[in-house]
Structure 1
Amino acid sequence: MYRQSNLFLEKIIKENINNLGKINGISIIIVSHILPDKLDFIQILSKYFKIEFIIPKPKSIDKNTFDKLKNEFDILQITRDEIYKNQEIIFEKIKNIQNKIIIIDIGGYFSKIIKKLEEKFNNKIIGIIEDTENGHQKYEKIIKNISIPIISVARSVLKNGEDFLIGQSIVFSTDYVLRLNNILLHNKYAGIIGFGKIGKSIAIDLKGKNIQLGINDINPYKGIEVLTYGYNFLSKEELFTKSDIIFLATGNYGLKGEDFENLKNNVILASVTSSDDEININYLIENFETKIINEYTTKYTKNGKNIYLLYGGNAINFINNAVVGEFIYLVQAEIIHIIFKLYKKNGLNNENNSIYSIENNEKIYIPQLWLKYFI
């Protein structure tokens, strides 16, 4: 599969060279999950651009992939919070880069310091490409304060297949961890907070397993969509009262503060993204007694009420490498396409103070090529 992906991604680059011309003097900074399906992508990029350094997402590191990458690239092991607290580390690295820079981000790692980067390095950073919904939301909050273009693939049509399969993998990995605890998913009432693409996929999978479920989303339009799918739309209060297990799929603090006090006793919590984007863990630590049950399960107890948090509140599917197969290469191809557009400044700017996305008609060649290579 990886050799085929290599050919496909190489073809995407050649298509862009044919259309936009060769590119010179571009450096890439990458925030990435260090998983097998990222290896070809990073190595292909390094043939055409200078990879300055890679920041691994700490909860999604495959050791074999990490060992291969560290032999070829500069790996900077730093968390999103550490970037904000120790900004000089990033400033020092960027100061020594001679080329123009494009940042490929996951989860808004640079969102808190991008204004300072812009002020400090003028026009050296020519764009940021964000891959995830929670990162998209982080950049949305600051986009009006910067001139650097932010291009998001989080809501791209090319990401639909990946997001659907992520939802399926969330259910698979949750079921796996529950079975390690001698618990079966099938007789639980499931709640889902967030009815975006991944939340919707979780609902479809659970419904297919004949599991009762209720869904909440703060967007009333999503509430209507929930009902059109034939699911139960619940207030948060109702969902807390009913749910034996809750899937958190908002990317924007699905649970925080006193929400934890209102959860059902012995509730199980599973997240689709990083804990610092979805769950206020500090509240649990400060207000509940903590007990490690096993590698993937932590129990929080207060006044006789138990809350079981899976995988520390991080994306549960990464315990099984979050496999989505060949669909991952669609988004990787779009990121390559965006790199070329940023370099050529072809219609990408921040004049409207909004996050940019690539129109479907412009990138239709990507799924056309993908179908030739993978079916």
Structure 2
Amino acid sequence: MTAPEEDPDGYFAPSLAALCERFSGSVLGVVEDTENGHRRYAGLADLACPVVSVARSPLKDPEDFLVGQSVVFSTEALLRGRGDIPSGRPALVVGFGKLGSSIARLLHAKGVHVTVFDIDPVRRAQALSQGFTVARDRETALAGAGLVLCATGALSLRGEDFPHLRNGAYVATVTSSEDELDLDGLPNVYSRADAGEHITRYQTTGHYFYLLNEGNAVNFLHGASVGPFIYLVQAEIVAGMHMLSRGDLAPGMHEVSATDRAAIAATWLNYFDR
């Protein structure tokens, strides 16, 4: 039997059934550690094998917070490279999940006025309770934002959304351009040109905006390091692989037990919290 496979972002999801059929008896299952991948697998009508997801584990919370820090750091570094800063630019955070809420709080701490847009009414209520302005519609929010950070793990901006961006707005994402941005749908009247290191200027008559890192995760430009906290997630991935190696899980979504998570956290604390 093959080893269980870790699949960040759920790229195997569309072909999972075909893979399991092609390698019948050899695929133990999949371990998924991203929210985007979790959604892709959970959205399948039938799973051909077990999928152990650590995407929504509480052990990922420290990583998500620190990734939010690195996103804000990298965004600010790119702006400063052009002689600009986030302060004074109203920011829009699209998506108020773990990453989006972390980014919103960190921007607020830097004195940036933050507006949040999320399609989930529960998350909108959470954002409002934390003191953020909550946008009622996407177009109005985009028109008022000088900095747009996309953190949904899904499609944040459609092709028709880009013309609504405020002139000179910066756009950054926390995942990849193919997940967050429909750049192929951007009206073909826009031309593109380099506007600095890892910054692309999109322009048409009367309108322009800047895209950071070609729409890919901006924090990867500076290492995206989260220090030893990554070992919490990696240990849970190993625990998920161990679950699959037993061969007794039915096809479907699974997660590591609370008991195993507590053991991982206790071991981590014993080593790093000295």
TM-score by length of 2: 0.95
Taking the TM superposition and a 5 Å limit, the aligned residue runs for 1:1-375 are 99-142=1-44, 144-235=45-136, 236-284=138-186, 286-345=188-247, 348-350=249-251, 353=252, 355-375=253-273
Which residue of structure 2 lines up, in the alignment, with residue 87 of structure 1?
none
Contact in 1 for aligned 2:159/2:187 (Cα 8 Å) = no
Contact in 2 for aligned 1:162/1:324 (Cα 8 Å) = yes
RMSD, aligned α-carbons: 1.3
Query: SS of the counterpart of 2:202?
Result: strand
Unaligned runs of 5+ in 1: 1-98
> How far, CA to CA, are the matches of 1:112 and 1:292 in structure 2?
35
> How far, CA to CA, are the matches of 2:200 and 2:183 in structure 1?
11
Contact in 1 for aligned 2:61/2:98 (Cα 8 Å) = yes
- The one-letter amino acid paired with 1:112 is P
Q: Deviation at 1:282?
A: 1.4
What CA deviation, in whole Å up to 9, does each residue of 1:317-348 have, x standing for no partner?
A: 001000100100000000111111111135x3
- The one-letter amino acid paired with 1:125 is V
Contact in 2 for aligned 1:171/1:205 (Cα 8 Å) = yes
Contact in 2 for aligned 1:195/1:216 (Cα 8 Å) = yes
> How far, CA to CA, are the matches of 1:103 and 1:287 in structure 2?
43
Contact in 1 for aligned 2:171/2:210 (Cα 8 Å) = yes
Q: Deviation at 1:359?
A: 2.9
Q: Deviation at 1:186?
A: 1.1
- Which shows bigger deviation, 203-212 or 157-166? 203-212
- Which shows bigger deviation, 226-235 or 188-197? 226-235
Query: SS of the counterpart of 2:29?
Result: strand
Query: SS of the counterpart of 1:291?
Result: strand
> How far, CA to CA, are the matches of 1:285 and 1:176 in structure 2?
29
Q: Deviation at 1:197?
A: 0.4
What stretches of structure 1 move > 6 A for 4+ residues in a row? none
> How far, CA to CA, are the matches of 1:131 and 1:317 in structure 2?
18
What CA deviation, in whole Å up to 9, does each residue of 1:228-258 have, x standing for no partner?
A: 1111111212211210000000011100121
Query: SS of the counterpart of 1:114?
Result: helix
> How far, CA to CA, are the matches of 2:220 and 2:114 in structure 1?
24
> How far, CA to CA, are the matches of 1:251 and 1:335 in structure 2?
20
Q: Deviation at 1:285?
A: 7.3
- The one-letter amino acid paired with 1:166 is V
Unaligned runs of 5+ in 2: none
- The one-letter amino acid paired with 2:262 is I
- The one-letter amino acid paired with 2:236 is E
Q: Deviation at 1:210?
A: 1.4
- The one-letter amino acid paired with 1:369 is T
Contact in 1 for aligned 2:160/2:186 (Cα 8 Å) = no
> How far, CA to CA, are the matches of 1:257 and 1:201 in structure 2?
26
What CA deviation, in whole Å up to 9, does each residue of 1:283-303 have, x standing for no partner?
A: 237341111223310011122
- The one-letter amino acid paired with 1:304 is G
> How far, CA to CA, are the matches of 1:226 and 1:359 in structure 2?
30
- The one-letter amino acid paired with 1:223 is R
Contact in 2 for aligned 1:157/1:360 (Cα 8 Å) = no
Cα gap change, 1:325/1:191 in structure 2, threshold over 3 Å: closer, same or farther?
Answer: same
> How far, CA to CA, are the matches of 1:307 and 1:237 in structure 2?
15
**Larger Rg: 1 or 2?**
1
> How far, CA to CA, are the matches of 1:261 and 1:168 in structure 2?
29
> How far, CA to CA, are the matches of 2:237 and 2:198 in structure 1?
33
Contact in 1 for aligned 2:149/2:173 (Cα 8 Å) = yes
